[in-house]
């Protein structure tokens, strides 16, 4: 099995280590080890040329002890149930860590969306929602965007689901456009949270944010906003990478200008005129810096390339970017890693605010959203850092799981599950 196929094994290893450190109730650990529900679907989509293609899709609901399950939908050619199970489990821990009243879920469709026209993408989004409709709902399982899904795709999905229901149910999926039940601040939320987590970590280790050198890997929604807010915090983003290359400028890239360039350049960084140097896509890891934000996919920092990492802080914008082997080596070297379930939790946190606003039919200002997001992120960061400092030999990642699992365990006991 390749490392990628083993992603669920990675989660199991992390959870087992945290359960041991916590001396958690055995039934709690057992209940967390397997998802409560998985669904495989295959559904037809009519292509523009009149032919029919059948797509494979997945949805996993990992655990709902804290509330309805919640988590994004990704469109990617390598999506499979193993990956979706791992991502759903991470959502359970993320929601618990942030104190959100949700369990964890995740979904995906095996597709390269870049090969589809806009009309085909819309039919695919609608077809997938029809296929998983029996198991989702605003009090049951609430999807959201993830890799390669955006507010427009979410709007088609909510529209399709509302037609099935016979009435508008905006709270069924979050990440909607603002003029269709979305929340102000949702688009920027994950990147903002990732940048904020890096700033909080910098304060802990006495790293001055002003002039701190940052490398961002992945320049989609999460990476681009993390870069933007880190530069607003005073840091110098010296390199941004995506699958087409790395753009570098030792004096700091102008992130607003780069975002503008990417929006008009097939969504890729390659060829950005503000760079003083361009490198091959994998070379981001060689750039010496203070903070790395991996914001692409899982398994990016592995035992094969970990020796090249030269930084003080890693703030994980992506889910699962650091393998357990690399995590161990970096922690021993003294790199402070803010784990994915904390560093990228800003997205689901503002998704929660969106859902609350949908259920209330009353909408907040951007300032209210950001203030509430900061409060929850700071609270979660402080509790993880405290556990990390107070527990001998655990990493920030295991400390985050410990905080999260103890809440899940308490809820399971109170509900009489164990």
Q: Closest approach of Cβ 216 to ligand GLU, in Å?
A: 17
Query: Which residue lies nearer to ligand GLU by CB, 122 or 141?
Result: 141
Q: Is 106 a catalytic residue?
A: yes
Q: Least distance from C-beta 316 to ligand GLU, angstroms?
A: 11
Which run of H or E residues covers position 337? strand 336-338
Distance CA 61, CA 242 (A): 30
CB 10 within 8 A of CB 299: no
Cβ 8 to ligand GLU shortest distance, Å: 16
- Tell me whether residue 251 is exposed, middle or buried, using C-beta atoms within 10 angstroms of its C-beta: 0 to 12, 13 to 18, 19 or more: exposed
Q: Is 394 left (phi over 0), alpha (psi -120 to 50) or beta?
A: beta
Taking the complex as a whole, the smallest distance from the CB of residue 120 to ligand GLU amounts, in Å, to 23
- Looking at residue 238, the DSSP 8-state letter turns out to be E
Beta strand pairing status for 313-315 and 336-338?
parallel
Query: Which residues, at least 6 apart from 371, have a Cβ–Cβ distance to it below 8 Å?
Result: none
Whichever of 70 and 397 has its CB closer to ligand GLU, that residue is 70
Residue 141, C-beta contacts closer than 8 angstroms, at least 6 positions apart: 59, 61, 68, 69, 70, 105, 135
Write out the residues near ligand GLU by the rule CB under 6 A: 70-72, 144, 146, 174-175, 319, 344, 347-348, 351
Alpha carbon distance 405, 416 (integer Å)? 16
- Which element (helix H / strand E) includes 31? helix 26-33
Nearer to ligand GLU, 248 or 364 (CB): 364
Question: What are 246's strand-pairing partners?
Answer: 241, 279
Smallest separation, CB 325 to ligand GLU (Å): 23
Nearer to ligand GLU, 68 or 409 (CB): 68
Least Cβ distance, residue 48 to ligand GLU (angstroms)? 29
User: Of 106, 176, 228, 236, which residue is the catalytic one?
Assistant: 106
Closer Cβ to ligand GLU, 349 or 383, answer by number: 349
Q: How many CB atoms lie within 10 A of CB 195?
A: 30
Nearer to ligand GLU, 324 or 346 (CB): 346
Those residues with Cβ within 8 angstroms of residue 64's Cβ, 6 or more apart along the chain or in another chain:
36, 103
What is the number of the residue whose Cβ is closest to ligand GLU? Answer: 72
Catalytic residues: 106
């Amino acid at each position: 099995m390749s490392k990628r196929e083993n992603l669920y094994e990675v989660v199991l290893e992390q959870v087992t280590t945290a359960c041991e450190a916590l001396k958690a109730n055995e039934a709690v650990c057992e209940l967390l080890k397997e998802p409560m529900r998985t669904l495989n679907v295959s559904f037809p989509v009519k292509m523009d040329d009149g032919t029919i293609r059948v797509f494979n899709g997945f949805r996993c609901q990992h655990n709902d002890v804290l509330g309805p399950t919640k988590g994004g939908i990704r469109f990617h050619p390598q999506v499979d149930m193993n990956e979706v199970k791992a991502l759903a489990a991470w959502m359970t821990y993320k929601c618990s860590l942030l104190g959100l009243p949700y369990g964890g879920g995740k979904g995906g469709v095996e597709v390269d969306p870049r090969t589809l026209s806009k009309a085909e993408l819309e039919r695919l989004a609608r077809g997938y929602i029809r296929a998983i409709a029996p198991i989702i709902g605003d009090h049951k399982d609430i999807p959201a965007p993830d890799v390669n899904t955006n507010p427009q795709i979410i709007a088609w999905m909510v529209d399709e689901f509302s037609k099935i229901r016979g009435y508008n149910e905006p709270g069924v999926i979050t990440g909607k456009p603002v003029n269709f039940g979305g929340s102000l601040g949702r688009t920027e939320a994950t990147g903002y949270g990732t940048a904020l987590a890096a700033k909080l970590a910098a304060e802990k280790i006495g790293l001055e944010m002003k002039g701190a050198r940052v490398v961002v890997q992945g320049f989609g929604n999460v990476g681009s906003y993390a870069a933007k807010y880190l530069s607003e915090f005073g840091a110098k983003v010296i390199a941004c990478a995506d699958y087409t290359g790395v753009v570098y400028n030792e004096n700091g890239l102008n992130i607003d200008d780069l975002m503008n360039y990417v929006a008009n350049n097939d969504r890729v960084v390659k060829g950005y005129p503000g760079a003083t140097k361009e490198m091959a896509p994998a070379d981001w890891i060689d750039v010496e810096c203070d903070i790395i934000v991996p914001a692409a996919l899982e398994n990016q920092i592995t035992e094969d390339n970990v020796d090249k990492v030269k930084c003080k802080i890693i703030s994980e914008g992506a889910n699962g970017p650091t393998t357990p082997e690399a995590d161990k080596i970096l922690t021993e070297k003294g790199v402070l890693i803010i784990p994915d379930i904390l560093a990228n939790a800003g997205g689901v946190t503002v998704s929660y605010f969106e859902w609350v606003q949908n259920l209330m039919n009353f909408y907040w200002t951007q300032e209210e959203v950001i203030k509430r997001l900061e409060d929850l992120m700071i609270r979660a960061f402080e509790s993880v850092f405290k556990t990390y400092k107070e527990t001998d030999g655990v990493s920030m990642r295991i400390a985050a799981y410990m905080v999260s699992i103890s809440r899940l365990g308490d809820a399971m006991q109170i509900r009489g599950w164990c």
